Amino acid sequence: MKTLLLSISALALLGACSAQTATEMTKDAAQAADVMPERVVTPEVARLQKLARESTHAYDITESLTTEIGPRLAGTEEEARARDWAMAKMAELGFENIRNEPFMVPGWIRGVETAEILSPNPQQLFITSLGGAVATPPEGIEADIAYFPTFEDLKNAPMGGLDGKIVFISGRMEKAPDGAGYGPANQKRRSGATEAGKRGAAAVIIRSVGTDSHRFPHTGQMRYAEDVAPIPIGALSAPDADQLERTLDRGETVRIKLTMTPRAVGELPSGNVIGEIVGTEKPEEIIIISGHLDSWDLGTGALDDGAGIGIAFGAAKVLMESGLKPKRTIRVIAYGAEEIGLKGGFAYADKHADDLDNHVLASQSDFGAGPVYEVRSGVKGAAGNAVLKDIAKALGLPMSEKPTNGGPDIGPIFNKGVPAMRLQQDGTDYFDYHHTPDDTFDKIDPEHMAQNVEAWVTMLWMASEADTDFRE
Amino acid sequence: MKTLLLSISALALLGACSAQTATEMTKDAAQAADVMPERVVTPEVARLQKLARESTHAYDITESLTTEIGPRLAGTEEEARARDWAMAKMAELGFENIRNEPFMVPGWIRGVETAEILSPNPQQLFITSLGGAVATPPEGIEADIAYFPTFEDLKNAPMGGLDGKIVFISGRMEKAPDGAGYGPANQKRRSGATEAGKRGAAAVIIRSVGTDSHRFPHTGQMRYAEDVAPIPIGALSAPDADQLERTLDRGETVRIKLTMTPRAVGELPSGNVIGEIVGTEKPEEIIIISGHLDSWDLGTGALDDGAGIGIAFGAAKVLMESGLKPKRTIRVIAYGAEEIGLKGGFAYADKHADDLDNHVLASQSDFGAGPVYEVRSGVKGAAGNAVLKDIAKALGLPMSEKPTNGGPDIGPIFNKGVPAMRLQQDGTDYFDYHHTPDDTFDKIDPEHMAQNVEAWVTMLWMASEADTDFRE
């Protein structure tokens, strides 16, 4: 790779650095001059970054998706409308080779959802069923609460002994920029029904996996073990979990009524929508950027993952607008049915199994709309990692020590050897809104979206220009 | 009044100032030494303030009300349970002359509430009926939207011309510490149905009167003019109002379906719960401190007005705990049915019409759980105002230039000549939660509650010790 490297001060002379970037550099300088690398960019990258910073594509595309489609649960009519939207949007943006790669998914739709404390102190509780869960009888379940402060406490409980009870698992999730608290907190969501079911419980309610204190329960996919009879499981909003805990603290037996009537509706169509910028010199070599098109049904999927769709589409559009022609093919994927178990990611890995050697690098934006603050590598080769370091330098961002699989839908091809990377976003507040009705467009900052596009288009250009095989 | 006045530095020597207060003074000193008056307190007041700062009564009482009763809409069984709770709590705290003064109120209960954009771009919208509103037909109303960016725009519209339309009134409320934006923003809530009805509309939806951007619609009482046929009126959450506006911005006719089925349920019982600390020297002279016991039905009424009940009850309890005996009678009132039109305040004014001359001073805490930051006067006499100034000095707080009627339920007796005052709370975030499901106990800071009690017990003691007639 033969490039003219410019320092940030040279860049400033060229006027290629936007006013905002300059301001941020100044603001950061006092605190972070010793930890944040100086930006080193080529003239092409400087031009792309300026265009990205001035663009509103990502913001506008997310506005369009959330306003015109809204909630788009995997397999539903709404997800089908979102695929039509994505194909039309790709065409409008000028992408090539636009197509839908269909696959089938298990359909599941929400029903009635109510919960109330019957005694002592009758009160309504705000609850939502977890995705994939079975229903209570239509008339609901009335039972005493068996309280477990944490999921560990439930796992440590003896087998049996919870016969007919409604298990309540509390436990709080910690806030962190990279969402490190999600994995530990999420165990109760994924496996709570299995652990409680093994011990004879009639149903489970959990404190929502989230970091807010608003009256929104957080949904999300759960799983049943094959050898345990499935029981209903729902999540309470944080204030309702607090309320139930305060009632339990009074020492009396707490009896509740729980009614949730979701149902499985058989196999339904989903699909991955794909568009490309075909490479000029090595069109067979593919760089994937992506988001996922489906969302949970409660909100309009703005942060999860309308923003990722907007950022991926917007970065490709900025590259096209620049007039620069990438050597390698940029493949933009709007994955379907991510929320219910990475169905789109697995379908892509299956369909393209014979072509994965041609996949140079892959990444997904699926962590909201916060600014990118570091670069993470899921690349094994030294030469590939050197390019990632150059990308980080071009963004003035540090390389993280933490590994990545490139994002949820990239995982299946990463596991088959495709090099991956991630532009890590600040998701400190992401789990305030995640999987709730409150995941709506008003939560998105257009400046942050432009900063994401700057990072993505930088990565796209530098990875497509590199002669490097990222596996080496 | 013969008192020993001490400066704050003398107080510190006496150890009468809590560590926290001292810290706050230090922290504030750099910014506010020139605007915040130095505290001047008697040893009795210093003792009361220390006890108040160390107390958790207000927090605990609010916890008890919201946990054990929860939502308590005027006239309902839940409000009746809240009255029983209040009488039992007053007895537990050691109040005297505990009684309920009953009155009847028009009953109204919420029904189904749904709204959806039918075309273009079908989506659900989060809506709630305003209090007192009539219902749509059970099958709902389908109609085109007539959009008015502000309530002024609707009032300026010609008569007629909205036949069969659903009027959407937007307009945003400004945040302010004293809630100054509420009055202007609230006009559409109170009178939107009348202004739209006059012009032939079938129903009205408004952007919620609130300052948040969460997916909670804000309810609140509305009124119909007698000469205009009543039409349904509901409020959209801010994100849903945004969504509808973005759809309207696209220039097409927007058709929505609206179903809200609240109903009037005849006259129901409410009541004011009253307890006292009987004065030692002038028991017939009454100082009122109060909150209101009812809440809207969506949340658990923590900020509105569980906190006010906690603060009023808690201040009286601290006074009792101190061993100090007030000369005048402290009357603590938990008003009923405030939300639906100050019914408790009017009922009290009627019932006590012949005794109002004995009411020395009256006030209500009904603006959430934020800290008190200034003292407002609704006192006409110079001597009375001099006492209020001394109270402000004892709190290290400024006197406000802005007048007050003492609070919503004090208004009716203030209008009949009873002197009033208010310990103005910082309500910057109050309208984020006001009249929504999100008004729950987790929003309350125990330190702020203790600061409120400090202010209220200071006022109680100084007003009860003053020989002053506040009318003079």
Contact A120 B213 (CB under 8 A): no
pLDDT at position A320: 98
- Residues of A183-207 as b/e, b for ≥16 C-beta within 10 angstroms? eebbbbbbbbbbbbbbbbbbbbbbb
Q: How far is CA A26 from CA A31, A390, B93, B315, in A?
A: 10, 22, 59, 51
**Distance between A154 CA and the closest CA of chain B, angstroms:** 26
B103-145 pLDDT, tens digit each: 999 999 999 999 999 999 999 999 999 999 999 999 999 999 9
Question: Is residue A127 within 8 Å of residue A243, measured between CB atoms?
Answer: no
Q: Does B76 touch chain A (CB under 8 A)?
A: no
Interatomic CA distance for residues A194 and A204, integer angstroms: 10
CA contacts within 13 A on the Cβ side of B271: 19
The token pair at B266 is 């005849």
B447-470 pLDDT, tens digit each: 999 999 999 999 999 999 998 899
**Distance between B67 CA and the closest CA of chain A, angstroms:** 6
Q: How far is CA B304 from CA A73, A122, B433, B438, in A?
A: 37, 20, 9, 11
**Distance between B68 CA and the closest CA of chain A, angstroms:** 5
The token pair at A103 is 């696959």
The token pair at A58 is 């990502």
In this complex, the residue of B68, B120, B242 whose CB is nearest that of residue A441 is B242
Report chain B's terminal Cα–Cα distance, integer Å.
Answer: 15
**Distance between B454 CA and the closest CA of chain A, angstroms:** 26
| Closest chain A CA to residue B65 | A121
pLDDT at position A9: 38
Mean pLDDT of B6-11: 39
Q: How far is CA A280 from CA A46, A384, B297, in A?
A: 21, 21, 64
**Distance between A174 CA and the closest CA of chain B, angstroms:** 17
Contact A437 B126 (CB under 8 A): yes
pLDDT at position B35: 54
A341 dihedral zone (left: phi>0; alpha: psi -120 to 50; beta)? left
Q: Does B341 touch chain A (CB under 8 A)?
A: no
| H or E element, residue A471 | none
Mean pLDDT of B315-327: 98
pLDDT band with cut points at 50, 70 and 90 for residue A4: very low
Q: How far is CA A132 from CA A216, A219, A336, in A?
A: 19, 10, 17
Question: Is residue A214 within 8 Å of residue A125, measured between CB atoms?
Answer: no
Question: Which has the minimum average pLDDT: A263-267, A410-414, B11-15, B257-261?
Answer: B11-15
Contact B215 A216 (CB under 8 A): yes
What are the residue boundaries of the structural domains of chain A, listed by start? Answer: 45-106+268-465, 111-261
pLDDT at position A424: 98
Interatomic CA distance for residues B137 and B143, integer angstroms: 13
Interatomic CA distance for residues B458 and B463, integer angstroms: 8
Contact A440 B239 (CB under 8 A): yes
Contact B67 A437 (CB under 8 A): no
Interatomic CA distance for residues A20 and A464, integer angstroms: 27
Query: For residue A213, which residues of chain B lie inside 8 Å, CB to CB?
Result: 442-443
- A281: β partners: none
A423-438 pLDDT, tens digit each: 999 999 999 999 999 9
Q: Does B20 touch chain A (CB under 8 A)?
A: no
Q: Residue A471's Cα: distance from chain center in Å?
A: 26
Helix (H, G, I), strand (E, B) or coil at A19: helix
Using the predicted structure, report yes or no on whether residue A393 has a pLDDT greater than 90: yes
| H or E element, residue B280 | none
Interatomic CA distance for residues B345 and B103, integer angstroms: 11
Interatomic CA distance for residues A254 and A251, integer angstroms: 9
B323-363 pLDDT, tens digit each: 999 999 999 999 999 999 999 999 999 999 999 999 999 99
B280-294 pLDDT, tens digit each: 999 999 999 999 999
pLDDT at position A35: 54
The token pair at A405 is 């699989």
pLDDT band with cut points at 50, 70 and 90 for residue B2: very low
Contact A121 B299 (CB under 8 A): no
DSSP-derived secondary structure for A190-230: HHHHHHHHHTT-SEEEEE-SSS--SS-----B----TTS--
In this complex, the residue of A67, A214, A246 whose CB is nearest that of residue B247 is A67
In this complex, the residue of B70, B213, B442 whose CB is nearest that of residue A242 is B442
Interatomic CA distance for residues B263 and A181, integer angstroms: 46
Give the DSSP letter of residue B342: S
Interatomic CA distance for residues B372 and B399, integer angstroms: 12
**Distance between A205 CA and the closest CA of chain B, angstroms:** 19
Count Cβ atoms within 10 A of the Cβ of residue B108 and give its class: 0-12 exposed, 13-18 middle, 19 or more buried: buried
**Distance between B177 CA and the closest CA of chain A, angstroms:** 22
Helix (H, G, I), strand (E, B) or coil at B175: coil
pLDDT band with cut points at 50, 70 and 90 for residue A21: very low
Angle at B147 between CA B145 and CA B153, to 5 degrees: 150
pLDDT at position A38: 76
Q: Does B34 touch chain A (CB under 8 A)?
A: no
Query: For residue A443, which residues of chain B lie inside 8 Å, CB to CB?
Result: 213
B49-98 pLDDT, tens digit each: 999 999 999 999 999 999 999 999 999 999 999 999 999 999 999 999 99
Task: Write out residues 219-238 of A within 8 Å (CB-CB) of B.
Answer: 238
Instruction: Please choose, from the candidates B317, B327, B362, the residue with its C-alpha nearest in 3D space to the C-alpha of residue B92.
Output: B317
The whole-chain average pLDDT of chain B stands at 93
Residues 6+ apart with CB under 8 A from B159: B198, B199
pLDDT band with cut points at 50, 70 and 90 for residue A10: very low
A317-365 pLDDT, tens digit each: 999 999 999 999 999 999 999 999 999 999 999 999 999 999 999 999 9
pLDDT at position A367: 98
Using the predicted structure, report yes or no on whether residue B5 has a pLDDT greater than 90: no
Contact B441 A243 (CB under 8 A): yes
Count of CB atoms within 10 A of residue A19's CB?
9
Query: For residue A71, which residues of chain B lie inside 8 Å, CB to CB?
Result: 123-124
In this complex, the residue of A70, A242, A437 whose CB is nearest that of residue B215 is A437
Mean pLDDT of A115-133: 97
In this complex, the residue of B68, B122, B437 whose CB is nearest that of residue A215 is B437
Contact B215 A67 (CB under 8 A): no
How do beta strands A328-335 and A263-277 pair? antiparallel
In this complex, the residue of A67, A213, A436 whose CB is nearest that of residue B442 is A213
Query: For residue A67, which residues of chain B lie inside 8 Å, CB to CB?
Result: 121, 243, 246-247
pLDDT at position A5: 44
Residues 6+ apart with CB under 8 A from B34: none
The token pair at A409 is 């839908």
Using the predicted structure, report yes or no on whether residue B21 has a pLDDT greater than 90: no
Using the predicted structure, report yes or no on whether residue A34 has a pLDDT greater than 60: no
Query: For residue B239, which residues of chain A lie inside 8 Å, CB to CB?
Result: 438, 440-442
Contact A441 B124 (CB under 8 A): no
Query: Percentage of residues in chain B with pLDDT exceeding 70?
Result: 92
CA contacts within 13 A on the Cβ side of B235: 26
pLDDT at position B11: 38
Question: Which has the minimum average pLDDT: A8-17, A306-315, B116-125, B401-410?
Answer: A8-17
| Closest chain B CA to residue A297 | B124
Q: Does A69 touch chain B (CB under 8 A)?
A: yes
B197-232 pLDDT, tens digit each: 999 999 999 999 999 999 999 999 999 999 999 999
Domain A111-261 has CATH 1.10.3720.10: no
pLDDT at position A118: 98
In this complex, the residue of A71, A246, A438 whose CB is nearest that of residue B67 is A246
Interatomic CA distance for residues B84 and B95, integer angstroms: 15
**Distance between B433 CA and the closest CA of chain A, angstroms:** 10
pLDDT at position A98: 98
A97-119 pLDDT, tens digit each: 999 999 999 999 999 999 999 99
Interatomic CA distance for residues B83 and B309, integer angstroms: 12
Query: For residue B299, which residues of chain A lie inside 8 Å, CB to CB?
Result: 215
Contact A299 B215 (CB under 8 A): yes
Q: At what angle do helices B446-465 and B382-395 cross, to 10 degrees?
A: 140
Question: CATH homologous superfamily for A45-106+268-465?
Answer: Zn peptidases (3.40.630.10)
**Distance between A255 CA and the closest CA of chain B, angstroms:** 14
A159-210 pLDDT, tens digit each: 989 999 999 999 999 999 999 999 999 999 999 999 999 999 999 999 999 9
ipTM value: 0.91
Task: Write out residues 270-329 of B within 8 Å (CB-CB) of A.
Answer: 299-300
- Residues of B404-437 as b/e, b for ≥16 C-beta within 10 angstroms? bbbbbbbbbbbeeebbbbbbbbbbebbbbbbbbb
In this complex, the residue of B70, B215, B441 whose CB is nearest that of residue A440 is B215
CA trace torsion A197, A201, A202, A208 (10° rounding): -80
Across the beta sheet with A420-425, what order do the strands follow?
Answer: A96-109, A263-277, A328-335, A282-292, A359-364, A420-425, A372-378, A399-403
Mean pLDDT of B163-171: 97
pLDDT at position B317: 98
Interatomic CA distance for residues A47 and A8, integer angstroms: 13
CB pairs under 8 A between A and B: 81
pLDDT at position A472: 85
Interatomic CA distance for residues A167 and A440, integer angstroms: 31
Fold classification of B6-106+269-465 is Aminopeptidase (3.40.630)
Helices (H), B147-199: 151-155, 182-198
**Residue carrying structure tokens 């003691």:** B461
Helix (H, G, I), strand (E, B) or coil at B56: coil
How do beta strands B263-277 and B96-109 pair? antiparallel
| Closest chain A CA to residue B249 | A67
Contact B441 A63 (CB under 8 A): no
| Closest chain B CA to residue A432 | B214
Count of CB atoms within 10 A of residue B58's CB?
32
In this complex, the residue of B63, B437, B438 whose CB is nearest that of residue A246 is B63
**Residue carrying structure tokens 């009904």:** B366
Query: Percentage of residues in chain B with pLDDT exceeding 90?
Result: 90
Residues 6+ apart with CB under 8 A from B51: B318, B321, B322, B457
The identity of residue B315, as a single letter, is A
Interatomic CA distance for residues A287 and B195, integer angstroms: 58
Instruction: Please choose, from the candidates B78, B143, B129, B167, the residue with its C-alpha nearest in 3D space to the C-alpha of residue B263.
Output: B129
The whole-chain average pLDDT of chain A stands at 93
Using the predicted structure, report yes or no on whether residue B269 has a pLDDT greater than 90: yes
B444 dihedral zone (left: phi>0; alpha: psi -120 to 50; beta)? beta
Phi, psi of B41 (to 5 degrees): -135, 150
Query: For residue A437, which residues of chain B lie inside 8 Å, CB to CB?
Result: 126, 215
Mean pLDDT of A389-401: 97
The token pair at A173 is 């999730």
